[in-house]
Amino acid sequence: MTRTVFFVSDQTGVTAETMGHSLLTQFEGLQFRAVTLPFVSSIDKAQEAVRRINAVGTEEGARPIVFSTLVQDDLRLVIREAKALVLDFFEVFVGPMERELGTRSTHSSGKAHGISDSVGYAARIDATNYALSNDDGSNRDYWKADIVLVGVSRSGKTPTCLYLAMQYGIFAANYPLTDDDLESAGLPSALQPHKAKLFGLRITPSRLQQIRQERRPNSRYASLPQVQFETRVADAIFQRNGIRVLDTTDSSIEEISARILQSTGIERRVRP
Amino acid sequence: MTRTVFFVSDQTGVTAETMGHSLLTQFEGLQFRAVTLPFVSSIDKAQEAVRRINAVGTEEGARPIVFSTLVQDDLRLVIREAKALVLDFFEVFVGPMERELGTRSTHSSGKAHGISDSVGYAARIDATNYALSNDDGSNRDYWKADIVLVGVSRSGKTPTCLYLAMQYGIFAANYPLTDDDLESAGLPSALQPHKAKLFGLRITPSRLQQIRQERRPNSRYASLPQVQFETRVADAIFQRNGIRVLDTTDSSIEEISARILQSTGIERRVRP
């Protein structure tokens, strides 16, 4: 049986989805159907949301689960009337925080994923543009970088740089170890002045072969001897130059990014 | 007075930061200092976290606020001993969900931002690679696109495509209206077979001028007559071809993306 889950928000729904997803992963084996209702910012829209939620409950014979991040009291009261398990994020946490901080919250919507923090938002966009123009060894404006990821082709450098930029406003460049670099087995000259910023991404040969095989089936690029050679020389370069490394084989870009922040202590430009 | 806020997680901390950030924005005017403690995955690490939290509280003379998404009971019990306001995400919500679903949760850590959903994760990475190779009018493999964003230079196309890809696994290309396109004022031929996938991004001339001025000060590109001309012709192209449009002037990439999903009904490849 599939249970329908609603994410109800007066803004983008990103917070509601994040919290809901996090909880749903705790119930393995159950099937959920997810519906996001963003921009529920008026009584009318809240009532329409309740009608949709109730209709699904009637149709499926099981009450939906609703993750709500609505902030305004009048809208929250409407949603709580839905025939559903309503998990009301603000109701639970805002009260204790108000008591702790000795002040009332603003109960105003739409602050978390908008551009009200214009400095932080601009930093994220600037960092994203930086990551794009300094991707894959291009541009090489490493003086401006907070970090330069180094690794063989398809070790996870590009998506990690983009995530570091968009999530944390970090200026992340990346440099792929090319055939020439690997033949000479030395630290590429473009990287030498920036040793302290370098961070190596490792990946196991078998996983690397699998990824490359999907991109260029049966090529030399995807052959086992080639990936074994590349990963071995890359490891040697990292070790000889005292470059910090992280194995990305079983990690998501979120995990790689969080590990990099933790192990380097880089200051993010955007703070929660 | 600045209050220190800790985000404690057994994994990346993304969920804890998202929920905490969302709540902190409700307390405007107060100053917070944010500290993320990710990968708190053992009793030892939890005890170390408590020591850090308590030390900050003693030093600052105000107890910290702790947003915890720890899942394992033994770790949560340790954190709850901190001399802080501990807001325990799982404690609050898992109980009601277990009763509703009639089953115990797994209480296992690290599912939300890892790669346990390998199909969804691969979709996000594939979509990111697609966005990169079909950025800024390059490649033009629009048959594969879920959506093609169209607009003048610096209307927000690229970061929005990347966000749609990384967050939702959506294949988003973008096409910049070039000088030639704007001179002819017709729908570019590359876009004509894909009308149903086109989505226009608008921006006000004054905001566009500001953004361009930062990039290329005092250029023709950043001049008011030029941005007025471009935005006017772009609007005409959108209107004449029945292309849906969204004004990006005051919106973040999260907001633009959520609006696009809502107004097009595009199915995401990654669900919460």
Rounded to 5°, angle at Cα B225 from B223 and B230? 95
Shortest Cα distance from B149 to chain A (angstroms)? 17
Average of pLDDT values for B66-76? 95
pLDDT higher than threshold 80 for residue A109: no
Query: Is the fold of A2-101 the same as that of A118-264?
Result: yes
Shortest Cα distance from B121 to chain A (angstroms)? 8
Indicate the residue of A12, A100, A262 with minimum beta-carbon distance to B258. Answer: A12
Q: Which segment of A68-77, A168-177, B101-110 scores lowest on mean pLDDT? A: B101-110
> At which residue do the structure tokens 């307390």 appear?
B27
Shortest Cα distance from B171 to chain A (angstroms)? 15
Q: Do A162 and B128 touch (CB under 8 A)?
A: yes
CB pairs under 8 A between A and B: 205
Indicate the residue of A3, A112, A166 with minimum beta-carbon distance to B163. Answer: A166
Per-residue model confidence (pLDDT) at position B81 = 97
Per-residue model confidence (pLDDT) at position B183 = 93
Residue A247, classed as helix, strand or coil, is strand
Compute chain B's Rg from CA coordinates. 24
Q: Do A101 and B30 touch (CB under 8 A)?
A: yes
Indicate the residue of B132, B250, B252 with minimum beta-carbon distance to A158. Answer: B132
Q: Do A25 and B112 touch (CB under 8 A)?
A: yes
- Put simply, whether the predicted model's pTM sits higher than 0.80 gets the answer yes
Q: Do A13 and B258 touch (CB under 8 A)?
A: yes
Tokens at residue B220, please?
């023709």
Q: Do B250 and A115 touch (CB under 8 A)?
A: yes
Q: Which residues of B touch A100 (CB under 8 A)?
A: 63, 65, 85
Q: Which segment of A218-232, B103-117, B164-178, B191-205 scores lowest on mean pLDDT? A: B103-117
CA B161 remoteness from chain centre: 11
Q: Report pLDDT digits (tens) over B217-251.
A: 999 999 999 999 999 999 999 999 999 999 999 99
pLDDT higher than threshold 70 for residue B85: yes
Selected for mutation to probe chain B from A10, A22, A264 (highest B CB count within 10 Å) is A22
Indicate the residue of A15, A26, A129 with minimum beta-carbon distance to B19. Answer: A15
Look up residue A15 and give its amino acid. T
pLDDT higher than threshold 80 for residue B108: no
Question: CA-CA distance, B159 to B175, in Å (whole number)?
Answer: 13
Q: Report pLDDT digits (tens) over B109-145.
A: 767 788 778 889 999 999 999 999 999 999 999 999 9
Per-residue model confidence (pLDDT) at position A110 = 64
Q: Which residues of B touch A5 (CB under 8 A)?
A: 272
Convert chain B into a string of H (helix), E (strand) and C (coil).
Answer: CEEEEEEECCCCCHHHHHHHHHHHCCCCCCEEEEEEECCCCCHHHHHHHHHHHHHHHHHHCCCCEEEECCCCHHHHHHHCCCCCEEEEHHHHHHHHHHHHHCCCCCCCCCCCCCCCCHHHHHHHHHHHHHHHHCHHHCCCCHHHCCEEEEECCCCCHHHHHHHHHHHHCCCEEEEECCHHHHHHCCCCCCCHHHHHHEEEEECCHHHHHHHHHHHCCCCCCCCHHHHHHHHHHHHHHHHHCCCEEEECCCCCHHHHHHHHHHHHCCCCCCCC
Indicate the residue of A19, A63, A116 with minimum beta-carbon distance to B19. Answer: A19
Per-residue model confidence (pLDDT) at position B271 = 75
Minimum CA–CA partner of B124 in chain A: A159
Residue of higher predicted confidence among B113 and A237: A237
Q: Report pLDDT digits (tens) over A81-99.
A: 999 999 999 999 999 999 9
Residue A272: band (very low, low, confident or very high) from pLDDT cuts 50, 70, 90: low
Whole-number average pLDDT of chain B: 95
Question: CA-CA distance, A86 to A92, in Å (whole number)?
Answer: 12
Q: Which residues of B touch A65 (CB under 8 A)?
A: 97, 100
Most confident of A232-246, B16-30, B258-272: A232-246
Per-residue model confidence (pLDDT) at position B110 = 64
Question: CA-CA distance, A110 to B255, in Å (whole number)?
Answer: 10
% of chain B surpassing 70 pLDDT: 99
Whole-number average pLDDT of chain A: 94
Question: CA-CA distance, B11 to B41, in Å (whole number)?
Answer: 8
Q: Which segment of A16-30, B78-92, B125-139 scores lowest on mean pLDDT? A: A16-30
pLDDT higher than threshold 80 for residue A119: yes
Q: Which residues of B touch A85 (CB under 8 A)?
A: 96-97, 100
Question: In chain B, where are the structural domains located?
Answer: 2-101, 118-264
So what CATH class is B118-264? Answer: alpha beta
Percent helix, strand and coil across chain A, each to the nearest 5: 50, 15, 35
Average of pLDDT values for B50-56? 98
Q: Do A25 and B251 touch (CB under 8 A)?
A: no
Question: CA-CA distance, B125 to A38, in Å (whole number)?
Answer: 25
Could you tell me which CATH number the domain at A2-101 has? 3.40.50
Of B177, B228, B237, the C-alpha closest to B206 is B228
Q: Do A20 and B272 touch (CB under 8 A)?
A: yes
